[in-house]
Amino acid sequence: MPKKASSTISKSGRLFGESCIVLWLGACAAISLLTTAAIIGLLLKESFTFFENVSPLEFFFGTSWVPILQPSSYGVLPLLWGTLQVTIGAAIIAIPLGLACAIYLSEYASPRMRSYVKPILELLAGIPTVVYGYFALTFVTPLLRLFFPQVQVFNALSAAIVVGIMILPMIATLSDNALRAVPDSLRQGAYALGATSFEVTTKVVVPAGLSGVMASFLLAISRAIGETMAVTIAAGQTPNLTLSMFESIQTMTAYIVQVSLGDTPTGGIAYQTLFAVGALLFAITLIINIFSQWILGRYREVYD
């Protein structure tokens, strides 16, 4: 009876093999922890070296960013402002439109229609961001120039528009999920009281799904802040503290690309700026992400 023998022998072998496997699986899960530790450790360490050479005061409040040429100055405000310009512009475009899409999908569209439209929107979200940059340069900017001749080839406005287009599907699909999680009984209750579909949507459904909707806004905004290629291509490479949306600017991400395009020697200040700007970018997006998770957890209404 070889079968029986093998089963008794393999029992301890099985357990040993099992614990090896569990060890391996645990090690894999630990990689994500290591990645975070590596990112934070690296950014902190290099930023500290950077701040030994440049005072934090100059970095956070200086209004001119000339890291490579002499005389150099390291005020991050122009980059920060460039990022803000693009992000705010994108949010102004994407939040109302994205929410309207989500409302249409969850409240008005027939299930059949929804099954067509949603994948299309998701496709829009999946297009590589370089393509959006290209789209901005060859389509959006020329279009803008028809209306505003003073628009520069690289400008904040077209970057904001394409980033807005880019995050719109994200807002639409995530908010749609949140709105559809609102139970039908709430809608029916409101209709029974004589509310119109507009009132049901704005006074019952959206408030009930608000935590999910807000979280989708925040996630989209953090994505817009971290967006790199589209803004590098569309907004240009000029650190510029300006209110005008028609001029070329530079965002934090675009700066990082610019520095790494040149062959930056390790250890120079220009190399360290990479980490200082990266750390700032990381901190901003991390705070927004944590905040959105907190909103989701804190204000989530649970319906049974």
Residues 8-37 that bind another protein (CB under 8 A): 14-15, 17-18, 21-22, 24-26, 28-29, 31-33, 35-36
Identify residues 227-246 at the interface with another protein (CB under 8 A).
227-229, 232-233
Query: Could you give the CA distance from residue 12 to residue 18 in angstroms, rounded to a whole number?
Result: 10
Q: What is each CA distance from 272 to 41, 50, 56, 94, in whole angstroms?
A: 14, 6, 13, 34
Q: Closest approach of Cβ 186 to another protein, in Å?
A: 17
The stretch near another protein (CB under 8 A) out of 146-154, 203-211, 239-247, 288-296 is: 288-296
Residue 265: phi and psi, rounded to 5, are -70, 145
Q: Which stretch binds another protein (CB under 8 A): 84-92, 185-193, 222-230, 242-250?
A: 222-230
Smallest distance, Å, CB 102 to another protein? 9
Smaller CB distance to another protein: residue 126 or 149?
126
CB nearer another protein, residue 130 or residue 153: 130
Query: Does residue 102 sit in helix, strand or coil?
Result: helix
Answer yes or no whether residue 126 interacts with another protein by CB under 8 A: yes
Write out the two tokens for 130. 């370089």
How many other C-beta atoms can be found within 10 angstroms of the C-beta atom of residue 214? Answer: 17
**Crossing angle (nearest 10°) for helices 269-299 and 77-103:** 30
Find the shortest distance in angstroms from Cβ 120 to another protein.
Answer: 5
Angle at 209 between CA 207 and CA 212, to 5 degrees: 125
Report the residue from 91, 157, 163, 168 that binds another protein according to the rule CB under 8 A: 168
Judged by CB under 8 A, the number of residues near another protein is 82
Q: Report the C-alpha gap between 53 and 121 in whole angstroms.
A: 47
Cβ–Cβ under 8 Å, residues 118 and 173: yes
Integer Cα distance of 49 and 11 in angstroms = 56
User: Which residues inside 83-122 make contact with another protein, applying CB under 8 A?
Assistant: 97, 100-101, 103-105, 107-109, 117, 120-121
Q: Which one of 170, 205, 210, 281 is in contact with another protein (CB under 8 A)?
A: 281
71 vs 147 by CB, closer to another protein: 147
CA-based Rg of the chain, rounded to a whole angstrom? 25
